[in-house]
């Protein structure tokens, strides 16, 4: 049985006068998270990735669908029982700390809410042990205010907070996007360590390269829907959806250069169509794509794609691109 | 006419605070040559944005503490306000980091452009063809001219600012973190647009300021790595990526994710420790505290050593004859 | 901003220091003033119509009452109305603002409708009607009436601030730590607006004093006792100006002006202290 099961999850936000227009931030999303797995949810802004994280953390209520934890709907848990098992870390380390308090408070809150009987000295000891385990010197950290520390340090403290609670699931929402390059992989490494200790992690990111580096499985989101999902190696080395391929082609990397001459159109006026959401940006779209909503289809073991054109011809095309790119980076 | 567009020599720009000076740009030397894209990279707080902004407009709490930035034989840092006004946009221009907030919300795009041109003694009506062409480059319809900034999306506003900043064909354009807030697909588009502006000689040279080395790799010919207010290394892009000299550059490059490298098999390492506080900072190499190669000499400020035309501020690269 | 910096900025701010001194002096006068005078504010003390002299520092009025005694007792009740009425208005405004801003939805709409109604009603007319129907009026009742009518703009401003603070990630983090809403509002959101709350209270304090003076002046003040407003009302009723009794006509108004002006100066001073953009280095 999987630890978390997301079933047909939908979230709409009211827009416009009296909320008459609805924005579907998450549209019929289903996936499962097994124990001791790290899954990355990748998407651009507006893909609904953060909303999914908030829904799982019960910070938002779903419009439709269900989230199951340990076989039960998450609605049926008492808040404390749920948050003992499912925790989160957010994007902006500075905003995650209340500026008026010293950083110690983040630990005190956890003790107050989850382990109120623990004695003061015992608390102090645990905090220090946990800070050391994330590579920090407690005497340099405790008693400081958030603005006196760097983003990387604050994010480490939040990882330490998670360690204190030892949840089963961690939602890590863009936790490295505001950090400096030199500290990113180290913070990401902690997620890997947590996974090896048996925790399951949902790593929400817009950065494909870090998703590739750390995760076992990958979900590619576009406008609230899953375009492609499955084993990370399969999704990255054998991308079947045109959107995934477009993302992979445009992700900046020190291993390949963009073709700066080949111009492409980024922003298209949004129109509501009944078919594939990627239709208006897709270079391979046909009329059929406009009419038919593609379903997620398993094309190989643990690799699913929502594109009606995910056939053999596309696959060979990409293989050619990949091999040409390899020869580029060699030369 | 020399090939150097901008020559910066021992430039010092500090922030004054209640407790003293934050030495955000401290003794920085570099030059930008004609038709070049120079990448300026570094972590947050390394002074890269301060440097870019100080060249355009020194406003408090930023304070100039010495050195020079020579453009057309004039030191931009000491130029009287009135003269700097003439230089701005025409000689040197900037696409600011928060381009979205740079537009006056009470004016139409057309009026904003008109104001700028008027200040430089030109007229929008005569330049409409050129404006039209440039809007095409950044993939915007002509209709935006008659719109107010609020009617545009964030990405569109940024592209409008790109057009405005380059309206007078500046010799040097500073692009300050313009890709940082964008999605990958838009990042590529913006870089392509800048490239095209350079190809069509709308802008002369570009100083591309960003923390993202992978983006710089796509467009820059040379990259200057800054660390804690100082220059760490200046090298051609390929060299920075493949044969970095400075320990900081080396560790930085090693920490970037690559195809084929996955956590389960290979664990990447970041740089442990954090940059020093720049408030009233003393002498010595500023990377010393995080550097695995640090030795006695590092307590003194390293000069910029010249290695095969590359510049590196690290004592490891001193040669026998160097005076210490 | 550390505590040390905060004190530094406070002491450097002339507006704050000046108004703080004035208000402290008036508060001390209201507290200990009654001990300095042997008279009762409403009893005959000496000959009427006396200009200020050694026995009667501010002179006497038409009834031979000592005006200094009246002033210190009146100051007492005026400051009390400010404290109680302003405090109550701030408290109600905060509670409603927090509830509306944090909870949102129909509760927000209902509370904002309520505040809109109160805002468009002419407050003075409402006060007159309520006050006129009460058989007995004291400082406490006056404060309650003022407190219950002055909260709407505070509520609106607090609501707006709460709505922005609510989106900060530390609020989400407190929620996934299992904190309840009251704890989040009280310990996470409110401390971030303490400076604002303090400034609101100062404005409400001054507002309450002015409102009370208005009521007193039209004869709806405390049925027993004295206040600065009642002093003004009597001075007008008994033609102090026409009789050339400037000591009676001017003093209460001048003191009220002094209080309210000091409060406003203090407010702008605090604004400069709290707002880094207005703070000069």
* Contacting residues of B for C8, CB less than 8 Å apart: 18
SS3 B69: strand
Nearest chain A residue to B240, by CA: A254
Angle at A232 between CA A228 and CA A236, to 5 degrees: 70
Separation of alpha carbons A45 and B155, rounded Å: 12
Nearest chain C residue to A92, by CA: C169
* Contacting residues of C for B16, CB less than 8 Å apart: 281
Distance from CA of A220 to the nearest CA of B (A): 14
Q: At what angle do helices C228-237 and C246-274 cross, to 10 degrees?
A: 150
**Residue A322 · residue B260 · CB < 8 Å:** no
Distance from CA of residue B177 to its chain's centroid? 8
Separation of alpha carbons C147 and A101, rounded Å: 32
Distance from CA of B17 to the nearest CA of C (A): 8
How confident is the model at residue A331, as a pLDDT? Answer: 38
> Could you tell me the pLDDT band of residue C41, with boundaries at 50, 70 and 90?
confident
CA-derived radius of gyration, chain C: 22
Burial zone of B33 (CB within 10 Å; 0-12 exposed, 13-18 middle, 19+ buried)? middle
Q: What is the DSSP letter of C184?
A: I
CA atoms within 13 A on the CB side of A96: 29
In a domain, C102, yes or no: yes
Angle at A99 between CA A98 and CA A102, to 5 degrees: 85
Q: What is the DSSP letter of B107?
A: S
Q: What is the CATH number of the domain that holds C94?
A: 1.10.3720.10
Nearest chain B residue to C5, by CA: B18
**Residue B257 · residue A181 · CB < 8 Å:** no
Residue C39: C-alpha distances to residues B21, C45, C244 (Å): 62, 6, 24
CA-derived radius of gyration, chain B: 21
Q: Which domain holds residue C245?
A: 3-274
How many of the other CB atoms lie within 10 Å of CB of A287? 9
CA atoms within 13 A on the CB side of B258: 18
Nearest chain A residue to C3, by CA: A100
Contact criterion met (CB < 8 Å) for C5 and B18: yes
> Could you tell me the pLDDT band of residue C97, with boundaries at 50, 70 and 90?
very high
List CB contacts of B296: < 8 A, sequence separation 6 or more.
none
**Residue A28 · residue A11 · CB < 8 Å:** no
* pLDDT tens string C57-92: 888 888 888 889 999 999 999 999 999 999 999 999
Separation of alpha carbons C37 and C47, rounded Å: 16
Residue B109: C-alpha distances to residues B97, B103, B125, B138, B164 (Å): 19, 8, 14, 15, 9
List CB contacts of B256: < 8 A, sequence separation 6 or more.
A181, A209, A254, B213, B214, B268
Q: How high is the mean pLDDT of chain C?
A: 88
Q: Which one of A254, A262, A283 would you mutate to disrupt binding with B, by most B Cβ within 10 Å of its Cβ?
A: A254
Fold (topology level) of B4-91+170-317? Rossmann fold (3.40.50)
CA atoms within 13 A on the CB side of A319: 5
How confident is the model at residue A268, as a pLDDT? Answer: 54
**Residue B107 · residue B148 · CB < 8 Å:** yes
Separation of alpha carbons C17 and C12, rounded Å: 8
In a domain, C259, yes or no: yes
Q: Rounded to a whole number, what is the largest CA-CA distance in chain B?
A: 65
**Residue A71 · residue A65 · CB < 8 Å:** no
CA atoms within 13 A on the CB side of C225: 21
Separation of alpha carbons A113 and C178, rounded Å: 7
List CB contacts of B147: < 8 A, sequence separation 6 or more.
B108, B109
How many of the other CB atoms lie within 10 Å of CB of A107? 20
CB pairs under 8 A between B and C: 6
Separation of alpha carbons B116 and B102, rounded Å: 13
Distance from CA of A127 to the nearest CA of C (A): 16
Contact criterion met (CB < 8 Å) for A182 and B262: no
**H or E, element range at A226:** strand A225-231
In a domain, C279, yes or no: no
A86 φ, ψ (degrees, to nearest 5): -125, 120
> Could you tell me the pLDDT band of residue C281, with boundaries at 50, 70 and 90?
very low
How confident is the model at residue A316, as a pLDDT? Answer: 57
Lowest pLDDT segment from A271-280, C11-20, C116-125, C148-157: A271-280
Contact criterion met (CB < 8 Å) for B184 and A44: yes
Name the pairing type of β-strands B310-312 and B230-236: antiparallel
Nearest chain C residue to B15, by CA: C281
DSSP string, B165-200: HTTT--SEEEEESTTTTS-HHHHHHHHHHHHHHHHT
CA atoms within 13 A on the CB side of C256: 26
Q: B61 CB near a chain C CB, below 8 Å? A: yes
SS3 B223: strand
Give the residue from A62, A43, A46 showing the smallest Cα distance to A54. Answer: A62
**Residue A163 · residue A110 · CB < 8 Å:** no
Of C172, C179, C188, the CB nearest to A59: C172
SS3 C60: strand
Contact criterion met (CB < 8 Å) for B188 and A181: no
Bridge partners, residue A297, by sequence: A305
For chain C, what is the domain count? 1
Of C169, C174, C191, the CB nearest to A95: C169
Low-confidence stretches of chain A (pLDDT < 70) are 1, 16-19, 263-273, 311-331
SS3 C270: helix
User: Positive or negative CA dihedral for C42, C43, C46, C49?
Assistant: positive
How confident is the model at residue C276, as a pLDDT? Answer: 65
CA atoms within 13 A on the CB side of B257: 21
Nearest chain C residue to A90, by CA: C169
Task: Please give the average pLDDT of every successive group of 10 residues along chain B, which has 324 residues.
Answer: 86 89 92 95 90 89 91 91 90 88 90 92 89 91 92 88 94 92 86 92 94 93 95 95 95 90 91 87 91 92 92 89 58
Query: CA-CA-CA-CA torsion for A269, A273, A278, A279, nearest 10 degrees?
Result: -90
Give the residue from A6, A12, A24, A43 showing the smallest Cα distance to A222. Answer: A43
B13 φ, ψ (degrees, to nearest 5): -130, 120
Encode burial over B299-309: b for 16+ CB neighbours within 10 A, e otherwise. Answer: eeebbbbeeee
Complex ipTM value: 0.87
User: Could you check whether the bond before residue B61 is cis, i.e. omega within 30 degrees of 0?
Assistant: yes
Encode burial over A168-201: b for 16+ CB neighbours within 10 A, e otherwise. Answer: bbbbbbbbbebbbbbbbbbbbbbbbebbeeebbb
**Residue B15 · residue B183 · CB < 8 Å:** no
Separation of alpha carbons B234 and B232, rounded Å: 7
Residue A22: C-alpha distances to residues A17, A294, B37, C271 (Å): 11, 22, 45, 41
Give me the sheet containing B305-307, strands edge to edge. Answer: B92-95, B172-176, B205-210, B37-41, B222-227, B230-236, B310-312, B305-307
Separation of alpha carbons A19 and A2, rounded Å: 36
Contact criterion met (CB < 8 Å) for B275 and A181: no
Q: C188 CB near a chain A CB, below 8 Å? A: yes
Q: How far from each other are the two terminal CA atoms of chain B, in whole angstroms?
A: 36
Contact criterion met (CB < 8 Å) for A266 and B189: yes
Of C175, C192, C194, the CB nearest to A59: C175
Give the residue from B4, B16, B119 showing the smallest Cα distance to B58. Answer: B16
* pLDDT tens string C184-243: 999 999 999 888 898 899 999 999 999 999 888 888 778 778 889 989 988 888 888 888
Q: What is the DSSP letter of A149?
A: S
**H or E, element range at A32:** strand A21-33
B202 φ, ψ (degrees, to nearest 5): -75, -40
């Amino acid at each position: 049985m999987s630890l978390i099961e997301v079933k047909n999850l939908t979230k709409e936000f009211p827009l416009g006068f009296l909320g008459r227009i609805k924005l579907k931030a998450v549209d019929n999303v289903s996936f499962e998270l097994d124990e001791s797995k790290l899954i990355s949810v990748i998407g651009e802004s507006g893909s609904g990735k953060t909303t999914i994280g908030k829904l799982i953390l019960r910070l938002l209520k779903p419009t439709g669908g269900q989230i199951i934890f340990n076989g039960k709907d998450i609605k049926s848990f008492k808040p404390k029982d749920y948050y003992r098992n499912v925790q989160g870390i957010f994007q902006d380390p500075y905003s995650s700390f209340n500026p008026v308090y010293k950083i110690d408070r983040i630990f005190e809150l956890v003790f107050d809410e989850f382990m109120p009987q623990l004695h003061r000295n015992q608390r102090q000891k645990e905090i220090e042990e946990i800070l050391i385990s994330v590579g920090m010197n407690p005497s340099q950290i405790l008693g400081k205010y958030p603005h006196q520390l760097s983003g990387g340090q604050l994010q480490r403290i939040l990882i330490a907070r998670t360690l204190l609670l030892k949840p089963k699931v961690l939602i890590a929402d863009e936790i490295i996007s505001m950090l400096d390059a030199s500290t990113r992989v180290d913070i990401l490494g902690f997620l890997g360590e947590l996974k090896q200790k048996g925790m399951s992690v949902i790593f929400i990111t817009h950065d494909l390269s870090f998703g590739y580096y750390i995760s076992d499985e990958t979900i590619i989101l576009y406008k609230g829907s899953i375009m492609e999902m499955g084993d990370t190696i399969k999704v990255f080395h054998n991308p079947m959806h045109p959107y995934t391929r477009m993302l992979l082609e445009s992700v900046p990397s020190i291993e390949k250069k963009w073709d700066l001459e080949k111009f492409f159109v980024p922003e298209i006026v949004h129109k509501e169509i009944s078919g594939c959401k990627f239709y208006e940006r897709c270079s391979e779209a046909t009329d059929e794509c406009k009419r038919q909503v593609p379903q997620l289809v398993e094309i190989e073991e643990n690799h699913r794609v929502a594109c009606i054109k995910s056939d053999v011809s596309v696959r060979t095309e990409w293989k050619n691109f990949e091999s040409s790119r390899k020869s580029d980076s060699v030369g | 006419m020399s090939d150097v567009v901008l020559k910066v020599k021992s430039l010092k720009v500090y922030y004054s605070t209640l407790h003293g000076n934050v030495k955000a740009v401290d003794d920085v030397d570099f030059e930008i040559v004609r038709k070049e894209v120079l990448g300026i990279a570094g972590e947050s707080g390394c002074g890269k944005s301060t440097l870019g902004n100080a060249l355009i407009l020194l406003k408090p709490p930023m304070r100039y503490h010495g050195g020079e930035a020579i453009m057309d034989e004039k030191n931009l840092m000491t130029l009287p306000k009135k003269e700097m006004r003439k230089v701005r946009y025409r000689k040197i221009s900037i696409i600011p980091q928060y381009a979205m907030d740079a537009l006056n919300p009470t004016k139409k795009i057309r009026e904003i452009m008109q104001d700028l041109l008027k200040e430089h003694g030109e007229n929008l009506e005569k330049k409409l063809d050129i404006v039209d062409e440039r809007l095409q480059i950044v993939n915007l319809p002509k209709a935006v001219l008659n719109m107010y900034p609020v009617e545009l999306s964030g990405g569109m506003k940024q592209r409008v600012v790109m057009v405005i900043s380059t309206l007078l064909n500046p010799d040097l354009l500073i692009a300050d973190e313009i890709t940082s807030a964008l999605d990958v697909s838009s990042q590529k588009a913006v870089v392509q647009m800048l490239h095209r502006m350079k190809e069509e000689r709308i802008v002369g040279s570009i100083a591309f300021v960003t923390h993202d080395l992978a983006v710089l790799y796509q467009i820059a010919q040379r990259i200057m790595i800054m660390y804690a207010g100082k220059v760490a290394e200046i090298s051609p892009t390929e060299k920075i990526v493949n044969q970095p000299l400075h320990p900081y550059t080396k560790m930085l490059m090693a920490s970037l994710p690559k195809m084929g490298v996955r956590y389960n098999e290979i664990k990447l390492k970041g740089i442990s420790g954090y940059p020093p506080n720049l408030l009233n900072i003393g002498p010595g190499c500023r990377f010393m505290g995080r550097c695995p190669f640090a030795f006695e000499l590092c307590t003194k400020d390293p000069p910029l050593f010249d290695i095969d035309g590359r510049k590196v501020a690290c004592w490891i690269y001193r040669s026998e004859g160097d005076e210490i | 901003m550390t505590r040390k910096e905060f004190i530094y900025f406070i002491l450097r701010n002339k507006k704050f220091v000046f108004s703080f001194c004035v208000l402290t002096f008036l508060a001390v006068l209201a507290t200990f003033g009654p001990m300095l005078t042997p008279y009762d504010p409403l009893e005959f003390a000496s000959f009427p119509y006396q200009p200020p002299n050694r026995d009667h520092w501010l002179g006497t009025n038409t009834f031979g009452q000592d005006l200094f005694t009246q002033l210190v007792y009146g100051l007492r009740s005026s400051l009390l109305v400010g404290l109680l009425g302003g405090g109550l208005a701030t408290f109600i405004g905060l509670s409603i603002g927090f509830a509306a801003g944090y909870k949102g939805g129909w509760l927000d709409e209902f509370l904002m409708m309520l505040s809109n109604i109160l805002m468009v009603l002419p407050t003075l007319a409402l006060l007159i009607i309520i006050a006129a129907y009460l058989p007995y009026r004291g400082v406490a009742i006056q404060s309650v009436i003022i407190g219950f009518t002055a909260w709407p703009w505070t509520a609106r401003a607090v609501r707006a601030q709460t709505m922005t603070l609510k989106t900060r990630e530390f609020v989400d983090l407190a929620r996934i730590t299992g904190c309840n809403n009251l704890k989040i509002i009280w310990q996470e959101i409110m401390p971030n607006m303490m400076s604002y709350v303090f400034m609101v209270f100062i404005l409400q304090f001054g507002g309450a004093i002015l409102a009370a003076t208005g009521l007193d002046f039209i004869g709806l003040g405390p049925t027993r006792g004295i206040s600065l407003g009642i002093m003004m009302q009597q001075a007008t009723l008994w033609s102090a100006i026409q009789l050339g009794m400037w000591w009676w006509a001017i003093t209460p108004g001048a003191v009220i002006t002094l209080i309210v002006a000091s409060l406003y100066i203090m407010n702008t001073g605090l604004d400069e202290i709290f707002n880094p953009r207005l703070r000069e280095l």
